[in-house]
Every structure is written in C-alpha cells, then in structure tokens.
Amino acid sequence: MAEIILALDVTDAGKAVEIAKDVSEFVSAVKVNYPLVLSAGIGIVEKLRDVRPVIADFKIADIPYTSSLIAEIAFSHGAEAVIVHGFSGRETVKAVLNVAKEFGGEVYVVTELTSSCEFFEGISEKIAVMAKELGCHGIIAPGNRPEKVAKLKRIVGDLKVLCPGIGVQGGDAKAVVEAGADAIIVGRSIYEAEDPKEVVRMLSEL
Ligand code: BMP
C-alpha cells in the first residue's frame, strides 16, 4: 500500500485548509505549490502543517545561494520537505540539503516531469544517481510512465519514490504502485471531486 500525498493546487486559503482537513485521515502529507502560496502567502504552510506534514513543492532550480534562501523560507515556515529540480545540479541540491539538515527536513529531487521528457531523456537516471549519492530523501518520478518509475526505483533503492501524474494526467495508481512508487501525489482527482474523502478512501484501498 502506497502513501497518498494530496497536491493542493487550489488558490483559496480557506478552501485549501478545508479540503486538507476533510481528507487528512487518508493522506500522509499535503504538497503545496506556487498557485496556493502565491495567492495565499507563505503563512498557508503554517496553517496546513497543523493538519498534515507539508511538502513545499517550489521546484527549486536556481544557483546554490538563492536555492538555499528559498529552502530556508520553506522550512522556517514549517515545511517538512522541499522539492528541488535535479537538473539544477549537484551544488544546488547540496545547498538545499545543508539547509534541510539544519531544520531536520527532507529533500526530494525531480528526475523528469510528467508533462514532458523531451529534454530529460537520458538525464533522469543520472539525476536519480545523484540524489542517491548525496543522501536525499527521495525523488519525484513520472507516475504516468510506470516503466520509468520502475527503472528509477531500481537506481535509488531505499530512497522514496513519489509519483504525480495520476488520474487527470493519465497515470494509473495501481500500475505505478506496482512499478515501485512509495507514494502517489494526487491533486485534481481529489480536490475537484464531488466527494474528495471518498476518492482518497478508495485510493487508500488499492
Ligand atoms: P494533478 O493530480 O492535479 O495533476 O496534480 C499533480 C501535482 O503534481 C501538481 O502539483 C503538479 O505541479 C505536480 N507535478 C506533476 O504533476 N508532474 C511532475 O512531473 C512533477 C510535479 O511536481
């Protein structure tokens, strides 16, 4: 049974907290991304972490200094984990890891995007190797490409593999869990559903 991470890409703070509370018993974490933080402010991380642990999906992709500042803001507002783009390179990932260590937080590395692999071909495996070598906590792998998830899981071994791309983007939760995903990241299929709690309950039984 894989964990379920709620991707909370709504733009209203009140609605975000309401949905997170509604499904909290079935999700291991809430992932916040720019749509929510840019509309509700960084304080939303503090509100949500009272409900479930928060993963700050800022897809950090900058020089090491700027990246460490972004990570520091996320962790100091209560995020448990941050997501960094692996293509930014080793020094950036190391800078983010150093900040994470200060806060006892976690770092997940994007290997390739669910929406496009044209420029990632051949590099996502190298990113996975780097994430493993640096001692990151896990990777983000494309849940709509189970064969790629299986390949990346073989590379990272005991690191956690978190997979978005389920539902609206075409990925199948069962297939991706069988491919080795430790957690599925699901957004619209949950928060746009008439009964979000029922959707996560059903996913939790897969
Ligand atoms: P949805 O289930 O509504 O498609 O949401 C997926 C979530 O995962 C979004 O927050 C998106 O930014 C994120 N995501 C993704 O879809 N593909 C990736 O490759 C990496 C992501 O972080």
Q: For the chain, what percent of residues have pLDDT higher than 70?
A: 100
pLDDT for 120 equals: 82
Which domain does 37 fall in, by range? 3-204
pLDDT surpasses 80 at 78: yes
The pLDDT tens digits for 126-141 are: 999 999 999 999 999 9
Amino acid residing at 9: D
Residue 146 Cα distances to 59, 107, 142, 143, 176, angstroms? 22, 22, 7, 6, 5
- What mean pLDDT comes out for the span 180-191? 98
Confidence band for 31, pLDDT divided at 50, 70 and 90: very high
CA of 181 to the centre of ligand 1 (A): 15
Q: Note the helical H segments in the chain.
A: 13-23, 34-40, 43-49, 64-76, 90-103, 124-134, 146-156, 173-178, 188-191, 196-204
pLDDT for 121 equals: 83
Q: Can 59 be counted among the known catalytic residues?
A: yes
Instruction: Name the percent of the chain in helix, strand, coil, to the closest 5.
Output: 50, 20, 35
- What mean pLDDT comes out for the span 11-29? 98
- What mean pLDDT comes out for the span 115-120? 86
Long-range CB pairs of 123-126 (<8 Å, 24+ gap) are 123/86, 123/87, 124/86, 124/148, 124/152, 125/151, 125/152, 125/155
For residue 190, give both structure tokens.
Answer: 């949950």
- Residue 166 CA, closest ligand 1 atom number: 2
Name every protein residue with a CB atom under 6 angstroms from any ligand 1 atom: 7, 9, 33, 57, 110, 113-114, 140, 142, 164-165, 167-169, 185-189
- What mean pLDDT comes out for the span 77-101? 98
Amino acid residing at 26: F
* DSSP for residue 182: S
pLDDT for 2 equals: 80
| The model's pTM | 0.97
pLDDT surpasses 90 at 119: no
At residue 56's C-alpha, the angle toward residues 145 and 5, to 5°, is 50
pLDDT for 191 equals: 97
Number of domains in the chain: 1
- What mean pLDDT comes out for the span 58-76? 98
Confidence band for 115, pLDDT divided at 50, 70 and 90: very high
CA of 183 to the centre of ligand 1 (A): 13
**What are residue 70's phi and psi, to 5 degrees?**
-60, -45
Amino acid residing at 127: I
Q: Which of 15, 47, 59, 153 is catalytic?
A: 59
CA of 165 to the centre of ligand 1 (A): 6
Query: Ligand 1: which residue has its CA nearest to atom 21?
Result: 164
The pLDDT tens digits for 144-165 are: 999 999 999 999 999 999 999 9
We report the CATH number of the domain holding residue 67 as 3.20.20.70
- What mean pLDDT comes out for the span 170-188? 97
Cα–Cα distance between 163 and 108 in angstroms, integer? 11
